[in-house]
Structure formats: structure tokens, C-alpha cells
């Protein structure tokens, strides 16, 4: 089989396509013939040894996949050969065949495509966990989403809308804001490309306030970080929840007086660790997301698809600012 490997620390250009024997499922595992792989921002960090998890090399990137069960390891009774599944191995998915622990697999219903199944787990799982478990979202809340056209951002827009919130989408272009509106945002804000000086941050805070209103945001979903964090925090309402999910624009230095003055919370969102601590909650969340997808209430937007041999290019695409939605590798 073909597998795309990280054999040394570096960027996407260092990945190499290799031939390896087909894997054999061990006890409690299933062998999956991979159809689609979801590409995510952690893939860019993991191959550079900058992520929270550091797998031993050589390893294949790719945290999530969809495919068809081909063989069962000893003791597996939940699935049969031919079943469609999605799985979240966290790495190793960029291969034609992958052995996955059965507990990481979820059955995919007929109403959900392979592409949608590969796109659901990480971005929608993160967004749902952020909004409900960390954000305590309620119908009627106002939710500000930074980076609203990216994978997690667009998922947060869709899910917050489904959960009855007023959604304000912030992104770096009119095109991105328009797309967020198509996916459920009520209003939109175009912010400038960084870096921002103090005057630029003040102007952005004013723009946020103008749209959010005097009460500010009940929840801020910050997937951007850097110079965008403080202006958004200044617009968080009394008792609000400021959710830190990522920081492609850099790790912000947050003035400690702001959460005090607003009596608001700054909450981290580490979904990858959360699902390890409570896998049963994650199984319920995945079943719920698959149902919402099958019902047409959420619809992953596929920005682009690449063949396995171009998996490095798929990862590199995430480093640009032109991606709107999800990037996939398809076999």
C-alpha cells in the first residue's frame, strides 16, 4: 500500500510517499480501506514537532478518515467487512489502509458522504465541544466567531446558529464573510490583515462593538489569536465566555484587568485531550453530528481535495489565508 510519511522534522515539503506492506489488525482493531482524509491545522504543527502530541517517526499525518472496513481483529464484533466508518486516529490517516482501534470508529449512515464524514470529526467536534461544554451556549446568546471561514470557524458558525444563537462572523475578506452568512451567520465583520498596531486594534474593537451592540458578545470563539484577541476580549459582555481554540496569528498577551472588569471567563478548548478523558461523550457527540449532517442541518464546505501523493500540498494549503472550509485528501 501507499503511505505518506514524515521521516524528519520539517514542513509539508519533507513528506515522502512510500510503499509498505498492508497492515494487519490486532486484537480490538479494524482494518479500514481509506477513502477520504480530513486535513487540519494540527497536521501542520505535528510534522514540525510543534503540537501537543509528538508521535514517533516515521509517522503519517492525518488525524481523521472515512472508509470501509476490510478486516476485523480478534474480539471485534461491532462492525463487519463492508461497513462504512469514520475514525479519529489523531495521526496515521494518510495511507491507503489503516488499522484503527474499534473504539475510535463510528458507523456512517447512508445519508452522509465519505467526504462529509471525513470533514466532520475534528472541526465540528471541536466547535460543538467549545460551544456547549466550554461556552455554555444558550438560545438567544450572541456569539462572535473569529476566523469564521476556516474549518472550525465555519463549523462554529453553523452549530451556533443551529443551537439558536445570534451569530456574528468575523473574517479577513468580504468573500469569507459572505460564505459565513450562507452557513448561518446573522451579521459579519471584515477585519484587516495583521499585524495590527494599537490604533488598528482600537479600530477593530470599535468595529466589533458597532455590530455586537452595547451588551457585547456572550461567547467569543477565538481561532485566530495574535493581535485580534484583545479587541475581541474588550467586546466580551458581562459574564461572557472567551474561548481560546487556536492562534495561527500568534499567541496573544492578554491584559489581566480585562476579564476582571467584565467579570468574564477566558476558557481554553483542548478537544483532543477532552475526548481522551471522556470517550463516551465523544461517541454521543459524533452520533449527534452525523444525524445533523444527514438531516441537512450542517453541511461541511469542502474547499479542495488532493490525491494522496499531494498530501503535503494539502497541508501547505492550510498555511495560506485563502482556505474557506475543509481541505481533504481523497483516495
The band of 219, judged by pLDDT with boundaries at 50, 70 and 90, is very high
- State residue 248's pLDDT score: 85
Angle between helices 114-128 and 279-294 (to 10 degrees): 130
Q: Residue 171: in which H helix or E strand, if any?
A: strand 166-171
- State residue 30's pLDDT score: 98
- State residue 197's pLDDT score: 94
- State residue 53's pLDDT score: 79
The partner residues of 131 in beta bridges, in order of sequence, read none
CA 62, CA 72: separation in Å to the nearest integer? 22
User: What percent of the chain is predicted at pLDDT more than 70?
Assistant: 99
- DSSP annotation of 131 reads I
R_g of the chain computed on alpha carbons: 20
CA 330, CA 241: separation in Å to the nearest integer? 37
The answer to whether 30 and 69 are in contact (CB under 8 A) is yes
Q: Is 260 exposed, middle or buried (0-12, 13-18, 19+ CB in 10 A)?
A: exposed
pTM over 0.85: yes
- Report the top-level CATH class of 2-108+301-330: alpha beta
pLDDT digits (tens, 9 = 90+) for 190-211: 999 889 999 999 999 999 999 9
CA 217, CA 195: separation in Å to the nearest integer? 23
- Mean pLDDT taken over the chain: 95
Q: Average pLDDT of 9-23?
A: 96
CA 136, CA 24: separation in Å to the nearest integer? 43
Name the architecture of domain 124-271.
Answer: 3-Layer(aba) Sandwich (3.40)
The partner residues of 86 in beta bridges, in order of sequence, read 66, 106
Domain boundaries, the chain: 2-108+301-330, 124-271
- State residue 321's pLDDT score: 66
Amino acid at each position: 500500500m501507499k503511505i505518506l510519511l514524515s521521516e524528519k522534522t520539517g514542513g509539508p515539503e519533507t513528506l515522502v510517499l512510500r510503499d509498505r506492506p498492508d497492515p494487519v489488525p490486532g486484537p480490538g482493531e479494524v482494518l479500514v480501506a481509506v477513502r477520504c482524509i480530513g486535513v487540519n491545522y494540527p497536521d501542520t504543527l505535528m510534522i514540525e514537532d510543534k503540537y501537543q502530541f509528538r508521535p514517533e517517526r516515521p509517522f503519517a499525518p492525518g488525524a481523521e478518515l472515512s472508509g470501509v472496513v476490510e478486516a476485523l481483529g480478534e474480539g471485534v464484533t461491532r462492525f463487519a467487512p463492508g461497513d462504512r466508518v469514520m475514525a479519529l486516529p489523531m495521526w496515521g490517516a494518510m495511507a491507503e489502509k489503516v488499522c484503527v482501534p474499534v473504539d475510535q470508529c463510528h458507523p456512517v449512515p447512508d445519508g452522509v458522504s465519505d467526504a462529509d464524514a471525513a470533514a466532520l470529526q475534528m472541526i465540528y467536534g471541536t466547535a460543538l465541544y467549545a460551544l456547549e461544554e466550554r461556552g455554555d451556549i444558550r438560545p438567544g446568546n450572541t456569539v462572535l466567531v473569529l476566523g469564521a471561514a476556516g474549518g472550525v470557524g465555519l463549523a462554529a458558525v453553523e452549530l451556533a446558529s443551529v443551537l439558536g444563537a445570534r451569530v456574528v462572523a468575523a473574517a479577513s475578506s468580504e468573500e469569507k464573510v459572505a460564505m459565513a452568512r450562507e452557513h448561518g451567520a446573522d451579521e459579519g465583520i471584515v477585519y484587516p490583515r495583521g499585524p495590527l498596531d494599537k490604533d488598528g486594534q482600537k479600530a477593530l474593537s470599535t468595529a466589533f462593538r458597532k455590530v455586537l451592540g452595547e451588551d457585547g458578545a456572550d461567547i467569543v470563539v477565538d481561532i485566530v489569536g495574535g493581535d485580534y484577541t484583545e479587541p475581541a476580549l474588550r467586546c466580551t459582555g458581562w459574564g461572557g465566555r472567551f474561548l481560546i481554540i487556536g492562534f495561527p496569528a500568534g499567541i496573544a498577551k492578554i491584559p489581566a484587568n480585562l476579564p476582571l472588569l467584565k467579570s468574564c471567563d477566558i476558557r481554553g478548548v483542548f478537544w483532543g485531550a477532552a475526548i481522551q478523558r471522556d470517550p463516551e461523550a465523544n461517541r454521543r457527540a459524533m452520533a449527534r453530528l452525523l444525524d445533523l449532517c444527514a438531516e441537512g442541518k450542517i453541511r461541511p464546505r469542502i474547499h479542495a481535495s488532493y490525491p494522496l501523493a499531494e498530501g503535503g500540498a494539502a497541508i501547505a494549503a492550510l498555511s495560506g489565508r485563502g482556505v474557506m472550509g475543509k481541505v481533504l485528501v481523497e483516495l
